[in-house]
Structure 1
Amino acid sequence: MTAKWTGVFPAVTTKLQENGAVDILSTQSSIERLIKNGVSGIIVLPMLGENASLKLAEKEKVIRAAKEVVAGRVPLLSGLAEVSTESAADTARKFQTFGAEGLMAFPSIAYKSDARETSEWYRTLAAECDLPIMIYNNPIAYGVDVTPAILRTLEDVDQIVCIKEESGDIRRVTDLYNEFGDRFAVFCGVDDLILESLTLGVTGWVSGMTNAWPEECVRIFDLGRAGKFAEALALYRVMTPAFHLDTSVKLVQYIKLAEHLVYGAPEWTRAPRLPLVGEEREKVVAVINDTIASLRSRSSKAA
């Protein structure tokens, strides 16, 4: 595999109309906005993109529409979230024909596989398609931890090129580098650990809140990669309350609401997810509006 992914790869939200239909034009517009603000890659159909709630025909429309607007400027990956090994392999092949250039692959979303089963899941997936693979490691949400020991069994699989590290244990980043050197690209997978992860050497970031604030997120990443941690920290502290929203079970609603308030994107989600209401909505709106105001104040002072 020649894929050398690095930089900020937003996990793109799938824009929907109020009736739940996929809003292709708004999705394309959001992707264009992300690219213009300096992201290094695009990931459509992550779980943040409501992958599990979409039909295959809708997923095809999203990937093809993203391919059209990306137009080769950055790598285009798709999330792959399936139940069985057979369906994962079949869907991966279809996604490749739709235009995906890589996969961010979940473990089975219906079964907590053990170490042997997890290893076989990814090995089989790699054998059944021709795309480079980023392993999505989020044991907090999915109950399956792709540990360094499991990765050791996959080290010979050339198509597995990257791991999205979202175990919540910041020590895991160093353990991965100590175990494998640069064999796998290591991406931070949670917004409110990005600066900590950059100090430990990650080369990429799969980010949720980049959907709302791409310029600021790219700046934090670039400053951290350049070792300008004091400058990055000042902006990181402004962004962290909003970044905490990325770790909630309702991150889809929270991040879509942030997009809506920041630049007017539709906030609609597909049931069973429902729009935020009452005190919960007020709290999230307050965090987002405080972040908007703080960023505006920083900008005016810089000017």
Structure 2
Amino acid sequence: MQLNWKGVIPAATTKLKDDGSLDHDAIKAGLIRLIENGVSGVVMMGMVGENAQLTPEEKRTVLKIAVETVAGRVPVISGLAETNTAAAVQFAKDAQAIGVQGLMVFPGLTYKSDVRETIAFYKTVAQASKLSILLYNNPRGYGVDLTPDVVAELLKEPTIEALKEESYDTTRVTDLISRFGDRLAVICGVDDLVLESVALGVKCWVSGMANAVPKESVELMNLATAGDFEKARQLYRLLIDLYHLDTHVKLVQYIKLAENITAGYSENVKAPRLKLEGEERQKIVDIVEKTLANLRALAK
């Protein structure tokens, strides 16, 4: 299955049991729910999927569950988040063998690489498999910025097809599209910049909070890409407080709590993360419940 980098591709949460182990049945059910609500693909084990907290065996198990459950209905993309190049290369090879269609590649974790090192890392990973590569650009989170000049060098690798843009600078979207055209798919990676990004030409969105509201997120993306910005703005304004939660350091806990409220899945997270408590938890509950009430009112 070839990736066309269009529509909503949720960065799926990794469902866990109370003891922290993988909840196979919940992972399967969550993927089926996303597909039934019209998503264009799924990213397993992105930041939202707690990639860095999973063991090597757990990572590969999650991919096997996803490939089996999705069964070719939409593309499966795997996050690749490793601390060294050798482990990244091995993961890319294993992911290809398991049967995913693409890799969303983080920069090497725990080390802030310079430009030469960053280019060498991404090129080496790209050459390790035949999978489509989605570059992950989150300089706030990882201290490495894939600027247009860096991207120009990386695009010499034919399997590098797309970039998840999360610099929070919308001018970067236009800079990338104007420079690389159809050679690079620029993907919105920030939930509360999606409408702005589509207005600038983006056609695909890797979303965290789409786990909680997949149907509404797909509707928003469809309205925006169809050019119906009047209706899209109306829906976006109802969702924006929820989408703002995707940009916080505790986005995993926030998204899992929202998903618990909307779909009943567990809030369990991998330590050192902890489930929300007290006033902090209630604040998120209030935002989710207000959003759902507003959506119900809109539907009347």
Give, in whole Å, the separation in 2 of the partners of 1:217 and 1:54.
27
What's the RMSD between the two structures over aligned residues?
Answer: 1.1
Q: Which amino acid aligns with 2:214?
A: P
Q: CA separation in 2, counterparts of 1:247 and 1:3?
A: 26
SS in 2 for 1:48: coil
Spell out the pairing of 1:1-303 with structure 2 (5 A cutoff): 3-299=3-299, 301=300
Q: Using the alignment, how far apart are the partners of 1:2 and 1:191 within structure 2?
A: 25
Per-residue Cα deviation, 1:231-256 (whole angstroms, up to 9, x for no partner)? 00000000000000000000000000
How far did 1:4 drift?
Answer: 2.3
Residue 106 (structure 1) shift: 0.2
Q: Distance in 2 between matches of 1:259 and 1:115?
A: 38
The whole-number CA distance in structure 2 between the counterparts of 1:136 and 1:154 is 12
Gaps of 5+ in 2: none
Structure 2 contact 2–75 (Cα < 8 Å) conserved: no
The aligned amino acid for 1:252 is: V
Deviation by residue 1:172-219 (Cα, 9 ceiling, x = unmatched): 000001111111111000100000000000110000010010000001
Asked whether the equivalents of residues 46 and 104 of structure 1 are also in contact (C-alpha less than 8 Å), the reply is yes
Q: Secondary structure at the match of 2:111?
A: coil
**SS across alignment from 1:11:** strand
- Opposite residue 137 of structure 2, the aligned amino acid is N
Task: Confirm or deny: 8 A CA contact 1:77 1:104 kept in the other structure.
Answer: yes
| 113-122 or 208-217: bigger deviation | 113-122
1:155 Cα deviation (Å)?
A: 2.0
Query: 1:3, 1:161 within 8 Å by CA — same for their partners in 2?
Result: no
Amino acid at match of 1:8: V
* Cα displacement (A) at 1:5: 1.9
Query: Partners in 2 of 1:263 and 1:132 — Cα distance?
Result: 31
- Aligned with 2:48: secondary structure? helix
5+ residue gaps, structure 1, are none
Equivalent AA in structure 2 for residue 147 of structure 1: T
- What CA distance in whole angstroms lies between the structure 2 residues aligned with 1:3 and 1:280? 39
Q: Please list the CA deviations of residues 242-301 of structure 1 after superposition, one character each: whole Å capped at 9, or x if unmatched.
A: 0000000000000000000111011100110001011111111110110111111112x2
| CA distance in structure 2 between the aligned counterparts of 1:228 and 1:37, rounded to whole angstroms | 20
Distance in 1 of aligned mates of 2:175 and 2:290: 36
- AA at the equivalent of 2:167: S
Give the CA deviation at 1:161: 0.3
Partner of 2:275: helix, strand, or coil?
coil
Separation (CA, whole Å) in 1 of partners of 2:69 and 2:210: 18
Structure 1 residue 2: Cα displacement: 5.5
Query: Matches of 1:99 and 1:231 in 2, distance apart?
Result: 38
- Aligned-partner SS, 1:130: coil
**Alpha-carbon offset, residue 47 of structure 1:** 1.3
Distance 2:210 2:225 in 1: 17
- The whole-number CA distance in structure 2 between the counterparts of 1:281 and 1:262 is 15
Provide the rounded CA distance (Å) in 2 between the counterparts of 1:200 and 1:143. 25
Q: What is the number of residues matched between the two proteins?
A: 300
After TM superposition, the score normalised by the length of structure 2 is: 0.98
Deviation at 1:101, TM superposition (A): 1.3
SS of corresponding position for 1:128? coil
